[in-house]
């Protein structure tokens, strides 16, 4: 996991586009952190009702699970920006700089491509849930398009950050794989 | 195409894709999509977001971000240093007490933070300079902390165990309990080696203990006891059948945050944000790999790869222990390059049917697997703990840290061998506390 801590957040330089994307990704990181914290509090509230007041709970379990899923998907661009998604950087480290540059263009493009796939079908999935009015089969009966919307939103934000990372490498603002030459 | 051949193809392509430097989760999605398109047609991609979402749709998963918040709020405080101080003050009369208290502090802190690098950093910052000052060899000072830090993924509550439990649908409560005695076994082996090599280096006359008054011993306790109580409380709540791991973890996370704020005055919004930011980063990373690994394992089973491998192993006429050794070598190599969580998530869907077909207990295997992953944490090239130690004690050459850690790797291998001979070390406690499984 050396790759997690090997580099800090991706660089933006003075590029307006990169800065805007960085700001969006940071904002989604805040949202994600907020949702995780909220799910801690809701779980504690649920435990209080159940064990202290001996009451029954309806919406809490479902709510915290959806919050966690949303936090994960919305948090993707932020973690991408902080280079928090683990990778194996053995080969990139061993590569000569020029090859490393092309390898990084390749992996970023490939990553963007799969994220486009997830975005396209994720939107599709959300759209079906929305147009057919799907609800969860619990007493609370959540309209499922609400949690499912995290799929298209999360993946489009991740795509944006991946494109920004690609642009930063092409414009030589950021080093490929965040690996600075020593 | 023969599913077994297909399986080999998936393995090779996965390795190539991951080694290109693409992130693990995205890499798993790429490989899954590639094989699904080729063998099931374009329409099979439709299911990917649904499976990804469905994989995350579980209350048990919630324990991961919760335990991470618990750990990082403890790691952000001086709790590590205090713990170390406390043990040092109480164990000062024990021969070689310093290295014992360091390893003990590692074990306790590892349990509280659940993170190997955080343990290394928290205990090592105080422990390594102090050990060197008092004449312990550099290799022992660095190696003991590097090895002690790895205990975080074995001693409960451990995020790695939760991930294994979720990936293999085994009881998290049982897994936690199974880690207790092997954890203690490892600590004892580490301590024995440290004492022996210190004694062998002949520097014993400089290992003079400092003496502490009883007042000094007691005044430090209020700062460490709350955290230990929370850990004990969490474990009690889980095993007393009071609450599920996720519920207890949520309360634990809130309490640890509050204690960090009250005792360690961590009330500044910027410091709090740091704790939240770090835990969000780690949680999102792990949860995304879990989701992607869910898609990956769907691909494996929809192409009949998982089933065929299990069948094939069943017909193979190899000794089950030869199989176990082969699996361990495979995991060891994977652990050199990838973090434990990623290895477990990728390997579990393939390995679990093999393990159970060969008649091994999945709970016992979790412990062996985790110790195996610990070896990866202190072996090059990734060996995260080695770099953490290198960061906090830059004047110890990486070579000394490495050679100092090697004997501890040997201790871990001894522990794995002992576990193979006496599986009860892992399974006795969960069976005793929760009744025999099956």
Substitution target in A60, A72, A82, A105 with the highest count of B β-carbons within 10 Å is A72
Would the pLDDT of B205 be above 90? no
Contact B344, B167 (CB under 8 A): yes
Is B207 or B135 the better-scoring residue by pLDDT?
B135
pLDDT in tens, B68-110: 898 888 888 888 778 888 888 887 777 677 888 888 888 888 8
Nearest CA to B177 out of B433, B436, B437, B362 is that of: B433
- Percent of chain B past pLDDT 70, that is, above it, reads 96
Q: Which positions in chain B touch A1 (Cβ < 8 Å)?
A: 117, 338-339, 382, 384
Of A2, A3, A103, the CB nearest to B20: A103
A152 assigned to some structural domain: yes
Would the pLDDT of A7 be above 50? no
3-state secondary structure (DSSP) of residue B264:
coil
Q: Do A87 and B242 touch (CB under 8 A)?
A: no
Would the pLDDT of B288 be above 90? yes
Contact B388, B106 (CB under 8 A): no
Closest Cα in chain A to B335: A1
pLDDT at A44: 92
Give residues with Cβ within 8 angstroms of A140, minimum separation 6: A58, A59, A62
For B:382-421, CB contacts with A below 8 A are 382-384, 387
Q: Do A44 and B254 touch (CB under 8 A)?
A: yes
User: CA–CA separation, B29 vs A118, rounded Å?
Assistant: 9
Average pLDDT of the segment spanning B298-313: 84
A105 touches chain B (CB under 8 A): no
Would the pLDDT of B438 be above 70? no
ipTM of the complex: 0.93
Closest Cα in chain B to A102: B20
pLDDT in tens, B147-170: 998 888 888 888 888 889 988 888
Q: Which positions in chain A touch B288 (Cβ < 8 Å)?
A: 72, 76, 79, 85
Q: Do A90 and B383 touch (CB under 8 A)?
A: no
User: CA–CA separation, A20 vs A15, rounded Å?
Assistant: 9
Q: Please, which pLDDT band fits residue B267 given cuts at 50, 70 and 90?
A: confident
DSSP for residue B77: S
Closest Cα in chain A to B249: A40
- Percent of chain B past pLDDT 90, that is, above it, reads 21
Contact B426, B419 (CB under 8 A): yes
pLDDT at A103: 94
Q: Where are the beta strands (DSSP E) in B71-213?
A: none
Beta bridge partners of B23: A87
A8 assigned to some structural domain: no
Average pLDDT of the segment spanning B126-143: 85
A135 assigned to some structural domain: yes
pLDDT at B323: 87
Nearest CA distance, A45 vs chain B (angstrom): 9
Secondary structure (H, E, C), A74-126: HHHHHHHHCCCCCECCHHHHHCCHHHHHHHHHHHHHHHHHHHHHHHHHHHHHH
Would the pLDDT of A26 be above 90? yes
Q: Please, which pLDDT band fits residue B385 given cuts at 50, 70 and 90?
A: confident
Average pLDDT of the segment spanning B232-242: 75
Nearest CA to B162 out of B300, B18, B48, B58 is that of: B58
Q: Please, which pLDDT band fits residue A4 given cuts at 50, 70 and 90?
A: very low
- Percent of chain A past pLDDT 90, that is, above it, reads 64
Q: Please, which pLDDT band fits residue B206 given cuts at 50, 70 and 90?
A: low
The number of domains in chain A is 1
For A:144-163, CB contacts with B below 8 A are 147-148, 151
A22 assigned to some structural domain: yes
Q: Please, which pLDDT band fits residue A3 given cuts at 50, 70 and 90?
A: very low
B81 touches chain A (CB under 8 A): no
A6 assigned to some structural domain: no
User: CA–CA separation, A126 vs A130, rounded Å?
Assistant: 6
Substitution target in B14, B17, B24, B26 with the highest count of A β-carbons within 10 Å is B26
The mean-pLDDT minimum among B105-109, B114-118, B427-431 falls in B114-118
Q: Do B56 and A4 touch (CB under 8 A)?
A: no
Q: Which positions in chain B touch A65 (Cβ < 8 Å)?
A: 56-59, 61-62
Contact B423, B364 (CB under 8 A): yes
Average pLDDT of the segment spanning B350-366: 88
The mean-pLDDT minimum among A91-100, A124-133, B202-211 falls in B202-211
Would the pLDDT of B400 be above 90? no
Could you list the residue range(s) of the whole structural domain that residue A81 is in? 16-178
User: CA–CA separation, B183 vs B140, rounded Å?
Assistant: 20
B120 touches chain A (CB under 8 A): no
Q: Do B284 and A75 touch (CB under 8 A)?
A: yes
Of A103, A121, A148, the CB nearest to B46: A121
A89 touches chain B (CB under 8 A): yes
Average pLDDT of the segment spanning B353-358: 85
Report, in this order, helix, strand and coil percent for chain B, each rounded to 5: 80, 0, 20
pLDDT in tens, A60-70: 899 999 999 99
Q: Do A78 and B117 touch (CB under 8 A)?
A: no
A2 touches chain B (CB under 8 A): yes
pLDDT at A105: 95
Average pLDDT of the segment spanning B339-364: 86
A127 assigned to some structural domain: yes
pLDDT at A164: 95
Average pLDDT of the segment spanning B293-321: 84
A75 assigned to some structural domain: yes
Contact B235, B434 (CB under 8 A): no
DSSP for residue B58: -
Average pLDDT of the segment spanning B342-363: 86
Average pLDDT of the segment spanning B296-314: 84
Would the pLDDT of B50 be above 90? yes
pLDDT at B415: 94
Average pLDDT of the segment spanning B105-125: 83
> What is the distance between the terminal CA atoms of chain B, rounded to a whole angstrom?
37
Q: Do A72 and B337 touch (CB under 8 A)?
A: no
pLDDT at B208: 56
The mean-pLDDT minimum among A157-166, B21-30, B39-48, B238-247 falls in B238-247
pLDDT at B353: 84
A1 assigned to some structural domain: no
């Amino acid at each position: 996991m050396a790759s997690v801590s090997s580099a800090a957040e991706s660089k933006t330089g003075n590029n307006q586009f990169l800065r805007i994307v960085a700001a969006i990704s940071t904002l989604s990181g805040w949202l994600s952190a907020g949702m995780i914290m909220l799910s801690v509090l809701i779980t504690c509230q649920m435990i209080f009702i159940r064990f202290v007041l001996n009451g029954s709970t309806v919406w809490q379990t479902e709510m915290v699970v959806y919050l966690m899923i949303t936090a994960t998907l919305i948090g993707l661009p932020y973690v991408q920006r902080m280079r928090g998604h683990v990778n194996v950087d053995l080969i990139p480290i061993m590569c000569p700089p020029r090859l490393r540059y092309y390898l990084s263009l390749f992996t970023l493009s490939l990553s963007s491509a799969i994220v486009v796939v997830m975005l396209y079908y994720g939107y599709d999935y959300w759209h079906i849930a929305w147009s057919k009015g799907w609800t969860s089969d619990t007493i609370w009966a959540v309209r499922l398009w609400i949690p499912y919307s995290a799929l298209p939103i999360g993946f489009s934000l991740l795509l944006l950050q991946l494109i920004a990372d690609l642009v930063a490498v092409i414009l030589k603002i950021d080093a490929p794989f965040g690996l600075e030459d020593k | 195409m023969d599913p077994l051949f297909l399986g080999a193809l998936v393995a090779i392509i996965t390795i190539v894709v991951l080694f290109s430097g693409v992130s693990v989760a995205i890499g798993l999605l790429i490989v899954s999509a590639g094989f699904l398109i080729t063998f099931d047609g374009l329409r099979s991609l439709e299911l990917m977001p649904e499976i990804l979402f469905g994989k995350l749709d579980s209350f048990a998963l919630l324990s991961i971000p919760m335990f991470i918040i618990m750990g990082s709020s403890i790691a952000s405080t001086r709790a590590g240093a205090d713990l170390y101080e406390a043990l040092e003050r109480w164990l000062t009369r024990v021969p070689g007490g310093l290295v014992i208290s360091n390893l003990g502090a590692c074990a306790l802190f590892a349990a509280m933070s659940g993170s190997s690098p955080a343990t290394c950093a928290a205990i090592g910052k105080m422990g390594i300079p102090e050990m060197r000052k008092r004449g312990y060899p550099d290799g022992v000072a660095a190696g003991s902390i590097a090895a002690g830090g790895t205990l975080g993924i074995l001693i409960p509550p451990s995020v790695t165990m939760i991930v294994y439990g979720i990936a293999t649908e085994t009881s998290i409560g049982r897994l936690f309990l199974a880690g207790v005695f092997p954890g203690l076994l490892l600590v004892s082996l580490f301590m024995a080696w440290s004492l022996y090599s210190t004694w062998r280096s002949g520097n014993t006359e400089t290992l003079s203990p400092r003496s502490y008054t009883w007042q000094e011993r007691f005044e430090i306790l209020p700062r460490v006891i709350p955290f230990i109580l929370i850990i004990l409380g969490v474990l009690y709540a889980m095993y007393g059948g009071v609450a599920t791991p996720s519920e207890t973890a949520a309360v634990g996370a809130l309490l640890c945050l509050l204690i960090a704020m009250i005792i360690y005055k961590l009330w500044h919004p910027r410091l709090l944000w740091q704790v939240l930011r770090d835990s969000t980063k780690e949680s999102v990373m792990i949860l995304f790999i879990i989701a992607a690994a869910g898609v990956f394992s769907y691909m494996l089973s929809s192409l009949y790869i998982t089933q065929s491998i299990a069948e094939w192993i069943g017909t193979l006429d190899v000794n089950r222990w030869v199989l176990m050794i082969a699996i361990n070598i495979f995991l060891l190599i994977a652990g050199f390059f990838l973090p434990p969580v990623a290895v477990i998530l990728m390997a579990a869907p393939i390995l679990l049917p093999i393990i159970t077909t060969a008649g091994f207990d999945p709970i016992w295997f979790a412990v062996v697997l985790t110790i195996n992953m610990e070896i990866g944490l202190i072996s090059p090239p990734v060996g995260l703990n080695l770099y953490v130690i290198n960061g906090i004690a830059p004047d110890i050459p990486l070579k000394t840290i490495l050679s100092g850690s090697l004997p501890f790797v040997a201790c871990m291998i001894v522990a794995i061998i002992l576990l193979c001979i006496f599986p009860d070390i892992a399974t006795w406690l969960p069976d005793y506390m929760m009744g025999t499984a099956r």
